[in-house]
Amino acid sequence: MDFSKGVLFDPGYSKYTLPFASNIDAAYNMLFSIKSPHQRKFKFQILYPQLLKLLENTVSFYLGCLLWATFISKNFKDEPKEILNNSYLGQTVSEDDMLFDVNYAINYIDKLKKDCMYYLNKTCNIPDTWLEIMIVYKKFLTENNYLVNAKTTADIVLPKQIKELSKENLYAVLEIIENVLKNGELKELFSAKKYIL
């Protein structure tokens, strides 16, 4: 990556993300349009892998944001860089709007667990780390005032849960980010979680 002119606000994750709340709502609207409880259970069985993948994609994206924020703020600690293309810069935003998706995803974990028991009669395997990532991401957003003042890498505040990283680990994080941006597999960002959380 070329950092000579500054660092991108989004290194390229957004093209691989899907709108979480609207896709979940669409899936449940389809589910609830089925009258027969037996058919509804069968439909949920088909939908379940897609719902889980959507949640995984969303959590991966949040982790990716934390990884990128950690890399750019720590790597350019001594010589801050301008953050390019921050569409929130100088905007007036509402807390409800900015936290809607992450709150929706956090609350959805409990719903999905209940739905697994109800429709599939089994517990669903949602890693505990997913909730941890979303809580830290939400904290990151609030502590940074939703990034409306983030002009340079020096303006980024990292939640206290984020570990100190060696230069070697910072570049390991960057390498994982770059690979994910090439192949579009956001879930591969989970391999970098150990460096920051």
The answer to whether residues 63 and 185 touch, using CB atoms and an 8 Å cutoff, is no
Q: pTM of this prediction?
A: 0.95
- Report pLDDT digits (tens) over 128-157: 999 999 999 999 999 999 999 999 999 999
Q: Residue 132: which of 124, 121, 140, 142 has the closest Cα?
A: 140
CA of 25: how far to CAs of 44, 103, 104, in Å? 13, 14, 11
Q: How high is the mean pLDDT of the chain?
A: 96
- Report pLDDT digits (tens) over 168-178: 999 999 999 99
